[in-house]
Chain A
Amino acid sequence: MARLIVLGGGVAGHTTATFAAKWLGSQHEVVVVTPNSKWNWIPSNIWVGVGQMTKEEVTFDLAPVYAKAGITYKQAKAVSLNPEGNESSDKPFVTIEFTEPSKAGEVENLEYDYIVNATGPKLNFDATPGLGDGAGQMGEHTVSVCTADHAVHASHELQKSIEKMKAGERQKFLIGTGHGMCTCQGAAFEYIFNIEHELNKAGVRDMADIKWISNESFLGDFGMGGLHMKVGGYVVSSKLFAESLFAERNVEWLIGAHTSKVENGKVEYELLDGSKGEESFDFAMLIPPFAGVGIKAFAKDGEDITSTVFAPNGFMKVDANYAAGAYENWKASDWPRTYQNPTYSNMFAAGIAFAPPHIISKPMSSPNGTPINPTPPRTGMPSGIIGKAVAHSVCDLITKGKNAHLHEASMAEMGAACVASAGKGVFSGTAAAMTVYPVVPDFEKYPGTGRDTDYTFGEIGLAGHWIKHILHFMFIHKAKLNPGWTLIPE
């Protein structure tokens, strides 16, 4: 019997574990190690953050689902990896620390044959002074929608602001990124327009000033270097459409901004031109930068080999080209295909946890040397597809032997469908429905825009909202392993 351990129970980890358990059956063991007791459909946190959904509608308990799937579930966090075993055993193992209340703080060494790192990110609030509390958690000055609990808190704060506006007090909303190296601009984009939509519904829009602050060098970059779409006979940059939506909804923007400090009611920032400034706010939702979760790695003799297994940002090294060098040398082929660790072949990474070879957007920095550019998005559909490919590879390695062919899922060869909400409502809601193909532009295959414009498109409307709402139910149905779950694509 072989044992596969999956670290993380988010989109990538859950997909890997559930498909591996289905394909391997009861002959082999699949273990999930995740510090959370609940699964969270993160895209709908936006609606929790404006009070249009409850935490219970976007989460469910993992334990019964894993029991149904025959998966061993450990509510714990991974602390360190010993991919060569230790002095008393050659068997690789991972050290975990339980977060389950009844066993909190207990440590266990779990041996494995294969391991998939799908931990997702550490929300690195403390990278920006004042954005965090100094102890790794969100600070007191801003809100977040990165977790369901954060979104519930954000909703309460939003309601307080709405009450103030109803009482005649003008409010300034600042939404965007809390650092020059953030990703997930899409989530902030959704949140700012959902807030604008809710303020309209509450009849207080005229009492609100809404401003976007972002590390993108242009609106519509989204960490993917933007995209080009065919519209009305033209091939058009996403910049034009993003700016159009902001202007239509009367939302000002500040781009190319590294948020350098957060205080009560004020952020300090540095722009790409090197200038510095301040922006005041009454309500701010600033996405934190992401980092790896900080797992250490040790060799058999106890030597620290963390830098061999993980990149400096804490994400796991995989089969990517990390020596691509300058922007001019970047190629689509730099991006990983199998997500296998180059040093330890029984180790894989999926979703946000893999270290990308470089960013997708054009790298930028201020004259002061401060890097200000979005880091690559690796969430949603790509996470699920990568998780499934990795599960397939591991299952083949277990059942067919160590020479089995590894399955591939390069972000430079896969597309992604994305629906960004701009307001919730069965008949009044809108969302931008987009597809990109491929996610990472390939300028050798598609000279000009880097993508196939026949399969890269976007439009905003009620249809997009319906799709996003249907996807909410579909993906929770799939994640609960309800009947037909394998028929729903990632």
Chain B
Amino acid sequence: MKKEEMNFQKSDEFSRTMIPGSFARKMRTCVIWQFIRFVAINIKMLVVVSKSH
């Protein structure tokens, strides 16, 4: 069994939701990808902040 699929069997509630696979988890802490996301999220947040003032 793949490690990321282990938790599905731990409860009925867990089995009815989605759990990220190894690639999605890796990307969450991949410095290069996260730097790109850092820039993108900041731009999105600045737009919302500017619309709110």
Contact = CB atoms under 8 A, between A and B. Distances in A.
Contacts, number: 92
Contacts of A100: none
A489 B18 CA distance: 36
B49 interface: yes
A483 B8 CA distance: 51
A415 B51 contact: yes
Interface stretch (A274-282, A355-363, A460-468): A460-468
A105 to B, nearest CB: 42
Interface string A420-440: 000000011010010101000
A466 B39 CA distance: 11
Nearest to A422: B28
Contact of B49 (A428, A459, A464, A489): A489
- Size category of the A interface is 20 to 34
Contact of A437 (B7, B34, B38, B51): B51
A36 B42 CA distance: 33
Contacts of B16: 243
A455 B51 contact: yes
Contact of B11 (A248, A252, A459, A463): A252
Interface string B25-43: 1011111001101100110
B19 to A, nearest CB: 5
* Interface size of B as a range: 20 to 34
Contacts of A463: 34-35, 37-38, 41
Contact of B38 (A435, A455, A466, A490): A466
A467 B41 contact: yes
Q: Is the interface of B mostly helix, strand, loop or mixed?
A: helix
B37 A461 contact: yes
Contacts of B1: none
Interface of B: 4, 7-8, 10-11, 13-14, 16-20, 25, 27-31, 34-35, 37-38, 41-42, 44-45, 47-49, 51-53
25 contacts: A243-B13, A244-B19, A247-B17, A247-B19, A248-B7, A248-B20, A381-B52, A385-B52, A388-B53, A415-B48, A415-B49, A415-B52, A417-B45, A417-B48, A417-B49, A455-B47, A457-B44, A459-B41, A461-B29, A462-B31, A463-B35, A463-B38, A464-B41, A466-B38, A489-B53
Interface of A: 240, 243-244, 246-248, 250, 252-253, 381, 385, 388, 414-417, 427-428, 430, 433, 435, 437, 455, 457, 459-464, 466-467, 489-490
